[in-house]
Amino acid sequence: MSFRSIGRRILSYINVLFPKFNQVIVEGGPNIESNAIAVANYISQHYDIPVFYVISNKKNDDPRKLLSPGISTLKLIGGRWPSINYLLRYLTSRFIFLTHKSFLDYFSDRQTVINIWHGVLYKNVRLLDKGLPIPADITVGTSQSTKKMFSEAFGVSEDSVYVSGYPRNDMLLKAKKNKNQLRRNINGFDNFKKIAIWLPTYRKNPLREQDDGNEVGNPFYISDFNISNFNKILKSGNCLCLVKPHPNAPDYQGYQNLSNVRIIEDKWITNQGLTLYQLLGCTDFLISDVSSVIIDYMLLDQPIICVSTDFNEYRKSRGFYFDDIENRIPSRINRNQESFFRHIDNILQNDADPSEQKRKELKSYFFDNYKSCSTEKLVKYALDPN
């Protein structure tokens, strides 16, 4: 057993002995993770209970301008181990909301732990990827159809998977309703007829011995990508494409001087006063590969383009939850850039949405709730189940 494992075990034991107070810890990754922001703000605004939001010093995104004034922040500092202040609040809080794993192996019976994981599964995660379970009293699900996948991935019973829907999707749906107003507040958006966002998942994983799929050295994950031609297609459709690499992806350079392509990061989004999911609600269509954001984006009833030139390699290296994964993606899978360019050009020039019917069918599988009430439903169930 490693020194770190021994430390977790000791802290878990101490946690059982510590008193618990009626307060909430919310911890997300990255710091501006939309589920975490939505939950913290809702509790602070609707409940008379202290809320503490954890900020990791390893990330450059600062969520404080996105949080309600009544929320206290805890900095996760201290090198390899959490800070004393963070530990004390964590070990004495009755309610803990997490988007990723905890540093504890197990919790006190006097705590309620809520796993607000950061996406519905396309790729294998946690137990399905030879990882560790995430013990929780409540694990958020999005539909009756998805309860089994969360149970298998996190090692919890299906009965503990609560179908509220994701809090971040409330942000998504509300932003769409206020799209025009939100766009006016973002510098440069008024110059374009359409706004696209490209959200690829990462290939080079520092926590795994092998890459997921093929790392090709650019943020598009398309070998020899013709960025000039892509920019030309966007320009002809008067479209701006925001490209946001995954937080775990390498820092790609050399793509900043393009008229219709803008590489963004979490810090840029925060500077607009938005979370990622509020920004998504301001866009007109999504480009991605096998990222779970595809599933959430179906709620907007807007076009989705899937491009993955290393799809088969990704399947072999990382693996998918669904054996029939191609039937679960609401777009044809463009496996080369020529097919991708034709697809995006068709959307821009003809307002075409060839996968509309498939997207609607899949939306009913992944979601039971299409309205912006997931946060209220989850928080009420977690904090006041009676």
Per-residue pLDDT of the chain (386 residues; tens, 9 = 90+): 677 788 889 999 999 999 999 999 999 989 999 999 999 999 999 999 999 999 998 777 899 999 999 999 999 875 566 789 999 999 999 999 999 999 899 999 999 999 999 999 999 999 999 889 999 999 999 999 999 999 999 999 999 999 999 999 999 999 999 999 999 999 889 999 999 999 999 887 666 666 889 989 899 999 999 999 999 999 999 999 999 998 878 888 777 789 999 999 999 999 999 999 999 999 999 999 989 999 999 999 999 999 999 999 999 999 999 999 999 999 999 999 999 999 999 999 999 898 999 999 999 999 999 999 999 999 999 998 66
Task: Quote the pLDDT of residue 111.
Answer: 97
Q: Going by DSSP bridges, is the β-strand pair 72-76/93-98 parallel, antiparallel, or unpaired? A: unpaired
Give the CATH number of the domain where residue 223 resides: 3.40.50.12580
| Separation CA 38–CA 54 (nearest Å) | 14
Q: Are residues 337 and 376 part of one domain? A: no
Q: Are residues 375 and 355 part of one domain? A: no
Total number of domains in the chain: 2
- Show the tokens assigned to 231: 């920019």
Our CA angle for 151, 8, 201, nearest 5°, is 50
pTM: 0.94
Q: Are residues 112 and 13 part of one domain? A: yes
Backbone torsions φ then ψ of 283, nearest 5 degrees: -95, 170
Q: Are residues 176 and 271 part of one domain? A: yes
Task: Quote the pLDDT of residue 206.
Answer: 61
Q: Going by DSSP bridges, is the β-strand pair 51-56/72-76 parallel, antiparallel, or unpaired? A: parallel
Q: Are residues 78 and 48 part of one domain? A: yes
Q: Are residues 25 and 148 part of one domain? A: yes
Dihedral of CA atoms 190, 191, 192, 193 in degrees, nearest 10, equals 70
Q: Are residues 180 and 86 part of one domain? A: no
Give residue 310's domain range.
170-366
* CB burial of residue 198 (10 Å; 0-12, 13-18, 19+): buried
Q: How many CA atoms lie within 13 A of 308 on its CB side?
A: 24
Which residue from 308, 309, 287, 300 is spatially nearest to 356, judged by alpha carbons? 300
Q: Are residues 347 and 286 part of one domain? A: yes
| Separation CA 129–CA 148 (nearest Å) | 16
Q: Are residues 261 and 187 part of one domain? A: yes
Q: Are residues 247 and 361 part of one domain? A: yes
Give the CATH number of the domain where residue 28 resides: 3.40.50.11820
Our CA angle for 144, 147, 153, nearest 5°, is 160
Q: Are residues 201 and 275 part of one domain? A: yes
Q: Are residues 253 and 203 part of one domain? A: yes
Task: Quote the pLDDT of residue 50.
Answer: 98
